């Protein structure tokens, strides 16, 4: 899991102290963070560094938050991902479930593409590496 802030604000509009608050509890405590909207600047970058977190961005958006079905999201990932891509998905939408994730992994594997995950995904454990 990646930290995605406590309240999902535009971090670039916040002070350094407020960004630090957004990266803290009760948010996910991990070594990777995905800034909302993919927005970051020097202030945000410095706050992530202070929290010993790395900024993780994506280059394939599933747009799952638009209410797409699991089938549509699986198709977007399987047909659109290239080796090295980072795919954006959200936990509370239609394709964030076991069958859809397995279908994505299987479809990607058929194309010779593996899936990475961060190691040690539960709070407060802090993953130190990606497992690919």
Domain count, the chain: 2
pLDDT averaged over every residue in the chain: 86
In a domain, 130, yes or no: no
Q: Quick check: pTM over 0.85?
A: no
Q: Which domain holds residue 86?
A: 60-118
One domain for residues 47 and 74: no
One domain for residues 50 and 64: no
One domain for residues 69 and 48: no
In a domain, 24, yes or no: yes
One domain for residues 24 and 69: no
User: What whole-number percentage of the chain has pLDDT above 70?
Assistant: 87
Contact 111, 80 (CB under 8 A): no
One domain for residues 101 and 70: yes
User: Each residue of 41-95: pLDDT tens digit?
Assistant: 999 999 999 999 989 888 899 999 898 999 999 999 999 999 888 888 887 788 8
- Give the separation between CA 16 and CA 131, rounded to whole angstroms: 31
Pairing assessment for the beta strands 54-55 and 87-88 based on DSSP bridges: unpaired
């Amino acid at each position: 899991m990646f930290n995605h802030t406590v309240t999902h604000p535009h971090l670039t509009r916040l002070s350094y102290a407020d960004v630090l608050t957004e990266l803290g509890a009760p948010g996910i405590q991990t070594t990777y963070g995905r800034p909302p909207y993919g927005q970051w600047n020097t202030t945000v970058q410095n706050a992530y560094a202070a929290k010993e977190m790395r900024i993780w961005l994506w280059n394939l958006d599933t747009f799952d938050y638009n209410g797409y079905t699991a089938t549509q999201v699986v198709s977007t990932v399987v047909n659109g991902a290239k080796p090295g891509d980072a795919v954006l998905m959200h936990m509370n939408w239609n394709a964030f479930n076991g069958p859809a994730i397995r279908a994505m992994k299987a479809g990607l594997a058929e194309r010779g593409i593996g899936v990475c995950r961060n190691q040690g995904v539960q709070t407060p454990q802090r993953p130190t590496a990606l497992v690919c």
